[in-house]
Amino acid sequence: TQRTEWEPVLIPLTSASEQQALLSGGLSPEQVLSSLRDSAFRTLMDDTRGLLNGQDFGVVFEKAMDWGVDWLLERIQREMFDTRCEDQGEGDEKEEKRVKLAALLPGVARLSHTLVNSMPNEHIEGMSQLPEMSAFSAIIFASYEERLRPQDEMF
């Protein structure tokens, strides 16, 4: 199998693209420059890159994409196809109704709008329930536990 690198899609790779992302996110130019110089921000970006390039993320991402595609196909079938079969009158033989591709496009457009804009988002909520997602979250939290714990609680 071919390994896909998701880092370029999920996080800015250069200082210029980081700057553009922060500006697009609503920060002022002064806030952007301050963020780019901040060591905590740099550490966060570097740690995030490390996580995105790790094998654990690859497993979680693959499971999430598999679940997402299955969910989407099930939803398309449920909402846009007449899943009831028409009896042909002889025995148990049934014929499924055919649908032209052009007739599906409005339904797919509605579904994609719902998928992106609904709150709460059924798709995201479902993905967050995957066991792999919970395990990956635990890995992330454990890696930051020592940094976030106050010094007096460490011993």
Tokens of 77: 């079938």
Residue 60: phi and psi, rounded to 5, are -65, -45
Higher pLDDT, 86 or 24: 24
pLDDT at 151: 59
Is the predicted pLDDT of residue 26 greater than 70, yes or no? yes
- Residue pair 85/117 in contact (Cβ under 8 Å)? The answer is no
Question: What distance in Å separates the CA atoms of residue 101 and residue 91, rounded to the nearest whole number?
Answer: 30
Render pLDDT for 83-125 as a digit per residue (tens, 0 to 9): 544 444 455 555 666 778 888 888 888 888 888 888 888 888 9
Q: What angle do CA 13, 57, 20 make, to 5 degrees?
A: 20
DSSP H or E stretch at residue 54: none
Q: Confidence band (pLDDT; 50, 70, 90) for 152?
A: low
Render pLDDT for 30-88 as a digit per residue (tens, 0 to 9): 999 999 999 988 988 988 888 888 889 989 999 999 999 998 888 888 877 755 444 44
Look up the pTM and report it: 0.67
- Residue pair 8/53 in contact (Cβ under 8 Å)? The answer is no
Is the predicted pLDDT of residue 154 greater than 60, yes or no? no
Is the predicted pLDDT of residue 19 greater than 70, yes or no? yes
pLDDT at 84: 46
Mention every residue, 6+ apart, whose C-beta is less than 8 A from residue 122: none
